[in-house]
Structure 1
């Protein structure tokens, strides 16, 4: 599928908030604490996404310096997003971090994630953190040229361990 990739707009916020909650429950069930996933509220998440989108429309990036691109299907419905920004760890191996990349499950394998990744990170270097146990994400990033560097951390906010992958060069 050829997705239309655009910067984050307020018009996308509610659909992305609901999609994010659905994706988190599908992706992280059994990997993150059940109470964390159950507590995700669509209305609250819509407010977060609207605020983020308003700043993004005004400044071209979030207050933290992150850029979010949104993938839309042929009908203009948001079906995924990717966000990059400054590295959030003091000992980061690269200055740029892929903060998030999510695509609606019905479009897994359709090339939308590849399109988003290419649009938001046109060239290395960069790194990304993946929740341990998310084999689908690790496989996608490895296929895209990222390598596990052996670094792990426990994310208190998520209540889970994460693995770091680093992208130093494009895949052959």
Structure 2
């Protein structure tokens, strides 16, 4: 068969608001995403302490927050593969009223457009800001395509008992 005629399989993608019944799946996906995202920034020992069960417990709480929080999940063939959350700014010197708290997608789904769908669900074309690991070139490229730029602010955040240098991006 001539592979030039082959059609790439289409993914059955759904992006919808996160629900409390998603907590267990979100805990597993969250833990895996942290391993995939931070393995070059945080020690293996620290990442091994990540508990999908503990993250699921946190998600049970997070999915019950008020309407000012926008939390969505991306499902492929009915399985959660990523998630996003935004809400009111948390910083005293916040450059915008809204903050993107997190956007994680399993690495197997990078480059599929799912990350963009998640971003759009949480942020749309509104102004906002986020903190991102300084050493995360893939994320920086993604956010740059979405109109976010460094504003010069940076912080060292405790993360899993270690420290992570983050920079602020603003749109």
Tell me, yes or no, whether TM beats 0.5.
yes
User: Is the CA contact 1:97–1:127 (under 8 Å) kept in the aligned structure 2?
Assistant: yes
The corresponding residue for 1:170 is: none
What's 2:166 paired with? 162
Q: CA RMSD in A?
A: 1.7
Contact 2:74 2:118 in 1 (8 A): yes
TM-score of the two chains, using structure 2 as the length reference:
0.85
| Aligned equivalent of 1:67 | 70
Residue 72 of structure 1, CA deviation: 1.1
Query: Within 1, Cα distance between the matches of 2:46 and 2:71?
Result: 24
In 2, the alpha carbon distance for the partners of 1:132 and 1:67 equals 25
- Cα deviations across residues 4-52 of structure 1 (Å, max 9, x unaligned)? 1111112221111111111101110121344432211122222222232
Unaligned runs of 5+ in 2: 1-10
Matched residue, 2:100: 98
Larger Rg: 2
Runs of 4+ in 1 over 6 A off after TM superposition: none
Please give the TM-score of this superposition, normalised by the length of structure 1.
0.85
Check if 1:147 corresponds to 2:149: yes
